[in-house]
Protein backbone atom coordinates (compact mmCIF):
# COMPACT_ATOMS: atom_id res chain seq x y z
CA UNK A 1 0.00 0.00 0.00
CA UNK A 2 1.20 3.48 -0.87
CA UNK A 3 2.30 5.75 1.98
CA UNK A 4 -0.06 8.61 2.62
CA UNK A 5 2.00 11.72 3.31
CA UNK A 6 0.76 14.32 5.75
CA UNK A 7 1.60 18.01 5.71
CA UNK A 8 3.90 17.29 8.66
CA UNK A 9 5.75 14.60 6.66
CA UNK A 10 6.19 16.91 3.68
CA UNK A 11 7.38 19.75 5.94
CA UNK A 12 10.00 17.52 7.56
CA UNK A 13 11.26 16.26 4.19
CA UNK A 14 11.47 19.81 2.81
CA UNK A 15 12.91 21.33 5.99
CA UNK A 16 10.14 23.92 6.29
CA UNK A 17 7.19 24.55 8.59
CA UNK A 18 3.77 22.92 8.24
CA UNK A 19 2.36 26.39 7.56
CA UNK A 20 4.70 26.83 4.61
CA UNK A 21 3.59 23.52 3.12
CA UNK A 22 -0.03 24.51 3.62
CA UNK A 23 0.54 27.83 1.84
CA UNK A 24 2.26 26.08 -1.08
CA UNK A 25 -0.41 23.40 -1.43
CA UNK A 26 -3.28 25.89 -1.31
CA UNK A 27 -1.47 28.67 -3.20
CA UNK A 28 -2.14 31.31 -0.58
CA UNK A 29 0.07 33.66 1.37
CA UNK A 30 3.71 34.50 0.84
CA UNK A 31 6.41 31.85 0.59
CA UNK A 32 10.08 32.46 -0.19
CA UNK A 33 11.31 31.13 -3.52
CA UNK A 34 13.74 28.81 -1.71
CA UNK A 35 10.98 27.28 0.44
CA UNK A 36 8.67 27.02 -2.56
CA UNK A 37 11.35 25.17 -4.53
CA UNK A 38 12.09 22.78 -1.64
CA UNK A 39 8.42 21.94 -1.08
CA UNK A 40 7.77 21.46 -4.80
CA UNK A 41 10.84 19.22 -5.05
CA UNK A 42 9.46 16.98 -2.28
CA UNK A 43 5.99 16.99 -3.86
CA UNK A 44 7.50 15.86 -7.17
CA UNK A 45 9.64 13.22 -5.44
CA UNK A 46 6.68 11.64 -3.63
CA UNK A 47 4.41 12.10 -6.68
CA UNK A 48 1.93 14.10 -4.61
CA UNK A 49 -1.65 14.06 -5.86
CA UNK A 50 -4.30 15.96 -3.91
CA UNK A 51 -7.02 13.77 -2.45
CA UNK A 52 -10.14 15.19 -4.09
CA UNK A 53 -12.46 13.19 -1.87
CA UNK A 54 -10.85 14.60 1.27
CA UNK A 55 -11.04 18.12 -0.13
CA UNK A 56 -14.69 17.68 -0.99
CA UNK A 57 -15.41 16.52 2.57
CA UNK A 58 -13.52 19.49 3.95
CA UNK A 59 -15.62 21.81 1.83
CA UNK A 60 -18.74 19.89 2.82
CA UNK A 61 -19.54 19.36 -0.83
CA UNK A 62 -20.74 15.98 -1.98
CA UNK A 63 -20.26 14.76 -5.49
CA UNK A 64 -22.55 11.99 -6.64
CA UNK A 65 -22.68 10.23 -9.94
CA UNK A 66 -25.55 7.99 -10.90
CA UNK A 67 -25.24 5.67 -13.87
CA UNK A 68 -28.09 3.47 -15.05
CA UNK A 69 -27.12 0.60 -17.31
CA UNK A 70 -29.06 -2.36 -18.62
CA UNK A 71 -28.24 -5.84 -17.32
CA UNK A 72 -24.73 -6.32 -18.71
CA UNK A 73 -24.48 -10.07 -18.13
CA UNK A 74 -25.79 -10.87 -21.58
CA UNK A 75 -24.21 -7.99 -23.51
CA UNK A 76 -20.39 -7.58 -23.42
CA UNK A 77 -20.67 -4.02 -24.81
CA UNK A 78 -21.71 -2.66 -21.44
CA UNK A 79 -18.75 -4.23 -19.61
CA UNK A 80 -16.35 -1.79 -21.30
CA UNK A 81 -18.60 1.07 -20.14
CA UNK A 82 -18.53 -0.25 -16.58
CA UNK A 83 -14.73 -0.60 -16.75
CA UNK A 84 -14.43 3.02 -17.90
CA UNK A 85 -16.68 4.23 -15.11
CA UNK A 86 -14.61 2.33 -12.54
CA UNK A 87 -11.36 3.83 -13.91
CA UNK A 88 -12.82 7.34 -13.69
CA UNK A 89 -13.93 6.61 -10.13
CA UNK A 90 -10.36 5.59 -9.19
CA UNK A 91 -8.97 8.82 -10.65
CA UNK A 92 -11.50 10.87 -8.71
CA UNK A 93 -10.56 9.18 -5.44
CA UNK A 94 -6.88 10.07 -5.76
pTM higher than 0.85: no
Angle of CA points 2, 5, 32, to nearest 5°: 140
46-69 pLDDT per residue, tens: 999 887 777 666 665 566 778 888
Q: Where are the domains of the chain?
A: 1-48, 50-94
24-52 pLDDT per residue, tens: 998 988 999 999 999 999 999 999 988 77
Second-level CATH architecture of 1-48: Orthogonal Bundle (1.10)
Amino acid sequence: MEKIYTIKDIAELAGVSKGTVDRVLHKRGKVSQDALDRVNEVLDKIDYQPNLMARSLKKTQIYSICVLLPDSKNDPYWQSCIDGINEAKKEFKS
